[in-house]
Amino acid sequence: MSLMGILDRVADLDAFDKVIEPARRAVQGALKPQALKDFLHGSWLGHPLHPVLVQVPVGSWVSAGLLDAIPSMRPAATVLIGTGVAAAVPASLAGAADWSEQGTGVRRLGAIHATLNIAALGLYVGSLAARGKGRDTLGRVLSYSGLGIAGGSAAIGGHMSYAQSSGASHAATAARALTTEWIDLGPLDDLPEGRPALRTGQGGSVAVPLVAVRRGTRVDVFVGACSHLSGPLYEGMIEKVAGEDCLVCPWHGSAFDLEKGQPRRGPAANPQEKLEVRMDAGRVMARVPGRHR
Ligand code: FES
């Protein structure tokens, strides 16, 4: 079994769910109001914020490890370690916000990821304290230990992103399965007014759910699987969020504006994939955008 395959086995274990679930609820309760959560998710950015923020502590600590190997550069290494410690706080908050809205397997690995990160942060804080007292050798032992643990934790975070698709757009995956031809969604008059309606697009040998929203003669069509975790948007509702008419996911309440599919409320950080639409003799035709053709 590969090293990362072991992580998949760990993600199957329910042994610590009794601890993880209360922790998840505590994080959700602590991160308020919704605007703060949305900021931490990266809904305003159209991209998860956590992977952006972690560049600073990871980069600072790796660089500090290199500079610590050169005696004359050790004061600079201490500055970088302090920078990484300060930057780890917002990065952790963004990660905690995302983690609290993920599926079971991601939450299990995420709990290990968070525990290791806290351990690494503690070692770096200890390293700064030791360096401040002139105990430089102990300071370097602690920071190199922190670097090793942070590196292992980063590998787990990468597995969560790439193997478990946390933070990835689930709507983009569904869009790539769609045919590149125009899809006939039926007569305009068959669509209900102001409510999401399920329609089906063809993709290779599979049917891909789409969601169509009619407002008068205008129709907006999106991939039916929510970009957050594939929730059924066609079972959602239309709501005004942040002054925009939005399609709201029934699973975790993410809101995507009908105009462009941008997230106006999290936990989704990625936009919802929107299809091109044209009318043909009273029938609604939709096509996947050029980036997926
Ligand atoms: S699946 Fe989570 S908000 Fe849609």
Residues pairing with 232 in the sheet: 225
Q: Is the CB of 248 under 6 A from ligand 1?
A: no
41 in contact with ligand 1, CB cutoff 6 A: no
Inform me whether the pLDDT recorded for 1 exceeds 90: no
Instruction: Tell me the pLDDT band of 204, cut-offs 50, 70 and 90.
Output: low
In the predicted model, what is the mean pLDDT of residues 185-189? 95
Q: Which CATH class is domain 170-292?
A: mainly beta
- Picking from 213, 186, 196, 182, the residue whose alpha carbon sits closest to that of residue 282 is 186
What pLDDT is stored for residue 202 in this prediction? 79
| Mutation test residue for ligand 1: of 248, 251, 273, the one with most atoms within 8 Å of CB | 251
- CA 177-248-205 angle, 5° bins: 15
Where in the chain are the domains?
3-162, 170-292
Over range 15-43, report the average pLDDT: 94
Instruction: Report how far ligand 1's centroid is from the alpha carbon of 230 (Å).
Output: 6
Predicted confidence (pLDDT) per residue in 41-94, tens digit: 999 999 999 999 999 999 999 999 999 999 999 999 999 999 999 999 999 999
List the structure tokens of 256. Answer: 């995507």
Q: How high is the pLDDT of residue 15?
A: 85
Chain centroid, CA 264 distance in Å: 15
